[in-house]
Amino acid sequence: MMDANQVAELRRFIEQLKLNPSLLHDPSLTFFKDYLRSLGAQVPKIVKTERDYEDTPETKPSFSPSYDDDEVAESDVELDDSDVVEPDNEPPQPMGDPTAEVTDEDRDAAQLEKSKAMEAISQGKFDEGIDHLTKAIMLNPSSAILYATRATVFLAVKKPNAAIRDADMALQFNPDSAKGYKARGMARAMLGQWEEAAADLHVASKLDYDEEIGSALKKVEPNAKRIEEHRRKYQRLRKEKELQRAERERREQQEAQEREALSALKDGQVISIHSTSELEAKTKAAKKASRLLIMYFTATWCGPCRYMSPVYTNLATQHPRVVFLKVDIDEANDVAAAWNISSVPTFCFIRDGKQVDKVVGADKGSLEKKIAQHSSSK
């Protein structure tokens, strides 16, 4: 049960739809639109304004996807719906009890009612014919031909939903009822359900083709084909949009990683390295940022290192776009071993992950010269 607030919200929503039926074409309401159509409702087409065509050189609508939006807005499909009728929303017609036991007398009586119905129909008395067929169905509620026959009369009086209900019953009792498929296909065509109509009429044609089915297919198939082409077009566009969104997310993730890497480089500061994993992370970050990286190998017991350490720190402040690393060979001996460090202080110059130069010893002049040379080389 819906509470009073939910009912009130639903009522307000319906009032909005009455004022602006085009709301039904909102992509988020596709499920609701499909549900209405399943009940036989006819969803109004979008009324286009001049703005919809201001970028179009011809009068036919065209679609130009906007790659700034995540959703693809579908244009309307041009269909020939000149024979579409308003759906009949009357209460369902009597169907009888399909579990009831039917005697021979019942079948004979049902046949008599059917004969009366056909006579009335031949005189154009469709309502009287429907009444007789309903009596026949109540007498023999499991007869597929009776339901299919009444369905054709409902078609004659433009009641496609009633015809579909009867056709469904006919096919329930006889899945190979050509008359049932034909009636349902023509009823669906009346409601503008072109793809479903085409499917039913094709089955009817295979079971028992006649000229009326062929004529109906000539009307239905072009519309069904346009809808299928329209669907494929927008499926393709949505796929393209998904790929674009995935690529954009990939770029954004990559840019975020690069920003994070740059923030870890600490411009103007000397970064201490304690492990090979830390060194790899900083080397990758420097490579992504296209920066020169210098590794200063030192040791606490090294006298020349104590002289070069403040010089190195001062150079870091002078060259904020250069990455200055510091490695204690006793603390991070795996890093020292990987770089074959045999004496300290040693300064290794790295560009794009590869060593491009080296300074060994407490040579302040050579260090300054190499930094100036390699920091401006790219």
Which residues participate in catalysis according to the annotation?
302, 305
Alpha-carbon span 251 to 235, nearest angstrom:
24
Backbone angles phi, psi at 355, to 5 degrees: -75, 130
What are the tokens at 49? 């304004």
Quick one: which of 200, 195, 113 has its CA closest to 163?
A: 200
Quick one: which of 137, 138, 139, 162 has its CA closest to 151?
A: 162
Name residue 294's beta-bridge partners.
324, 349
CA angle 17-50-32, nearest 5°? 25
Who's near 68: CB < 8 A, 6+ residues apart? none
Alpha-carbon span 134 to 165, nearest angstrom:
13
Who's near 186: CB < 8 A, 6+ residues apart? 155, 163, 197, 201, 216
Alpha-carbon span 22 to 15, nearest angstrom:
13
- Say which DSSP state 331 is in: T
What are the tokens at 68? 């700034």
The helix (run of H) or strand (run of E) holding residue 110 is helix 104-122
Residue 282 contacts residue 323 (beta carbons within 8 Å): yes
Name the one residue in this structure whose structure tokens are 């770089």.
339
Region label for 192, one of left (φ > 0), alpha (ψ between -120 and 50) or beta (otherwise): left
Angle (deg, nearest 10), helices 126-139 and 104-122: 170
Residue 13 contacts residue 21 (beta carbons within 8 Å): no
Alpha-carbon span 245 to 251, nearest angstrom:
10
The helix (run of H) or strand (run of E) holding residue 359 is strand 354-360
Measured from the Cβ of residue 46, the count of other Cβ atoms closer than 10 Å reads 16
